[in-house]
Amino acid sequence: MSEEKQQEATTGKKPRTAVETRADATRNMESATDAPAATSEDRGPRRRRRGDNDKRGGAGGRRPRRGGRQERPRQEFDQKIVSIRRVTRVMAGGRRFSFSVAIVIGDKKGKVGVGIGKAGDTQLAIEKAVRDAKKHMIVVPMDKEGRIPHDVHVKYASSEVMMMPASGRGLVAGSSVRTVLELAGVKDITAKIFSRSKNKLNNARATVEALKQLNKD
């Protein structure tokens, strides 16, 4: 007896052919495709996305802007760089470069100072120059209108400077002499550099020495 007849005798059903089996599989696939898609309720609670409105940022997930820009605290003294030079030093292993910065600081109310700083970085050299200028700060004797009491003539190193009060003329000066007088708050003055020196640091220090002479008279 063949296997098909034995199976029919045991189960009481006629065995399925290969063609019928493939047809049943095709019908099962079509029925699965036509089934309705699962809704959001069937899937359960939806996860919160990054772009949804939430407490952190509102629409788009962006954080709300804070208040206006914070203003930087104003510095105690105004400062201006008089000269900046790159200095080269020859060593056994080669050349080393550094920066030398001369700076003038003042509050435009009678206080002024000149300082110098040297470092391998420009910003560090400026900070050193500011500290040096604060150490050598002087107070200029002036009247309420910002005028010096009398003429003064000073020679410092190779620089020679003369200053005279001149009512109604404003600030008449050049080079670094003007910078020192401007940050000191001096007005109605005429300054003259008699030397041919173009060293701005020496001219600025000569101006400071001239202002110091006002205290002695």
Q: What is the pLDDT of residues 9-36, one digit of tens each?
A: 565 555 556 666 676 777 766 665 555 5
Classified as helix, coil or strand, 133 is helix
Is residue 202 scored above 70 in pLDDT? yes
Is residue 73 scored above 70 in pLDDT? no
Q: Kindly state whether residues 145 and 185 are assigned to the same domain.
A: yes
In a domain, 40, yes or no: no
pLDDT score at 79:
92
Q: Kindly state whether residues 127 and 164 are assigned to the same domain.
A: no
Q: Kindly state whether residues 134 and 165 are assigned to the same domain.
A: no
In a domain, 120, yes or no: yes
Domain enclosing residue 97, as ranges: 78-138
| CA neighbor of 211 nearest in space, from 119, 114, 128, 141 | 141
Cα separation, 188 vs 174, whole angstroms? 14
pLDDT score at 71:
62
Domain count across the chain: 2
CA distances from 46 to 5, 52, 59, 182, 207 (A): 57, 12, 18, 70, 78
Q: Kindly state whether residues 95 and 133 are assigned to the same domain.
A: yes
How many CB atoms are located within 10 Å of the residue 99 CB? 18
Q: Kindly state whether residues 152 and 95 are assigned to the same domain.
A: no
What pLDDT, in 10s, does the model give residues 89-146? 898 889 999 999 999 999 998 999 999 999 999 999 999 999 999 999 999 998 888 8
Q: Per the confidence metrics, is the pTM higher than 0.95?
A: no
